[in-house]
Copies of this chain bind each other. A is one copy, B any other.
Amino acid sequence: MRVAIAGYSTTRFSLNDVPIENVLTDAMRMIFENAPNLEQKDIDTVLVSTNENRKYLGAVLAEMGGISPKIAHNVESLCNSGTNALVSAFSYITSGLADVALVVGAERFDSPGQVLDWDITRGEYNHPIFWASMFAKAHKRKYGTTDEQIAKVSAINHANAKSNPNAYVSKNYTLEEIMNSKKITEDLRLLDCSRPCTGGAGVLLVSENIAKKITDLPVWVSGIGHRTISASFAKNDLTTLESTKDAANQALVMAEVSTEQIDVLEVHDAFSICEIMILEDIGIVEKGDGGKYTSELYSTASKKVNPRGGLIGSGHPLGATGLAQVAEIAQQLQQKAGKRQVEGAKIGLVHNMSAAATSSTVLVLSS
């Protein structure tokens, strides 16, 4: 049984100080607006993804939407909550327990998911930037990756975000501005970081036989990969995101797709160094060549990475991020991405991770 994306939405990312319920409702409303044949009674699953401390948001969102689903709950896994919820919805459909699942993610700018409080035993490492800095240092040492290459990722994502009307940041930065921005750690600067913000995104997942009722342009979830690994500094090679490597491999095998066939990617650039490593670990470029690829080849590469500006350019509302990534790829595969359309994109990949890549989800989508 195939599962289709039959609708999607992204709110404007901002610093709006509004209740999480409002953000969720906005993202849900947009799904209905974009799917005129969708009726409330069609929906049998409502999954929410957020790190907010509010409870019972699956059922609350359902009620706010006039929906009486079978299944409703919240899924939380820090920054990849969104794709975890999406894969749950996929499973509900393929298992036969559901047919139409509304998955909505949202976060506020002050989300409690921004600090790794489970890692408090390691002192300062409770903010993810310290992890990312260790990655940066290790990658520089082993592969000669430069500060300029790292900064280039940020410059490109900010530039891409200019054609994304929902992006939180809408400003170009020169390489110089990025490299001269405030040093947060020895190896990463302020403009190397994605920014917390308020935002929501939604995806409507449906079984194959329902898809044609809702959309003429179904996008198929054709590959899924997941991996959770230890956070041990001792066990992990800090130049490789093992969870990403494994999740990508699973997803590509399931989809029967090679990296060459991928036209467009959304990858989890929580920090600019991450994008370099992710592209290596997915297998888009040889290990160690990520910095070169992103800085020299992006403009000429046959694949487009983070067309909406990634997390650095668009903003990073944790529970919404994975679903906003899926929404972007679905829009690209429907050839509806307007100014940022990757011409003729047929196969796309979403990479969403949490907490210094201690877990990764990779999805392959196809038109």
Q: A residues engaging B (CB < 8 A)?
A: 21, 46, 51, 53-60, 62-63, 68-78, 81, 84, 87-88, 90-92, 94-97, 112-113, 116-118, 224-231, 247, 250, 354-355, 358-359
Known: A70-B247, A72-B228. 6 other contacts (CB 8 A): A56-B355, A59-B359, A60-B118, A68-B229, A88-B91, A91-B95
Separation of A101 and B48 alpha carbons in the complex (Å) = 21
Q: Is the CB of A70 within 8 A of B227?
A: yes
Separation of A97 and B55 alpha carbons in the complex (Å) = 28
Q: Is the CB of B56 within 8 A of A118?
A: yes
In the complex, residue of chain B having the shortest beta-carbon distance to the beta carbon of A51:
B55
Closest Cβ–Cβ distance, residue A255 to chain B (whole Å): 13
Q: Is the CB of B117 within 8 A of A70?
A: no
Closest Cβ–Cβ distance, residue A13 to chain B (whole Å): 21
Q: Give chain A's interface secondary structure class.
A: mixed
In the complex, residue of chain B having the shortest beta-carbon distance to the beta carbon of A226:
B70
Q: What residues of B have a CB within 8 angstroms of the CB of A77 in the complex?
A: 56, 58-59, 72-74
- The winner among A60, A75, A228, A250 for most chain B CB atoms within 10 A is A228
- In the A-B complex, list the 5 residue pairs whose CB atoms are closest, starting with the nearest: A73-B77, A91-B91, A94-B95, A70-B226, A91-B95
Q: What residues of B have a CB within 8 angstroms of the CB of A358 in the complex?
A: 59, 63
Q: Is the CB of A95 within 8 A of B84?
A: no
Q: Can you show 29 pairs from A to B with CB atoms below 8 A apart?
A: A46-B228, A51-B55, A54-B118, A55-B76, A55-B78, A56-B76, A56-B116, A56-B354, A57-B118, A59-B77, A59-B359, A62-B228, A63-B230, A63-B358, A69-B228, A70-B228, A70-B250, A71-B84, A71-B87, A71-B228, A74-B75, A91-B91, A91-B92, A91-B97, A94-B94, A94-B95, A95-B95, A97-B224, A97-B226
Separation of A305 and B71 alpha carbons in the complex (Å) = 25
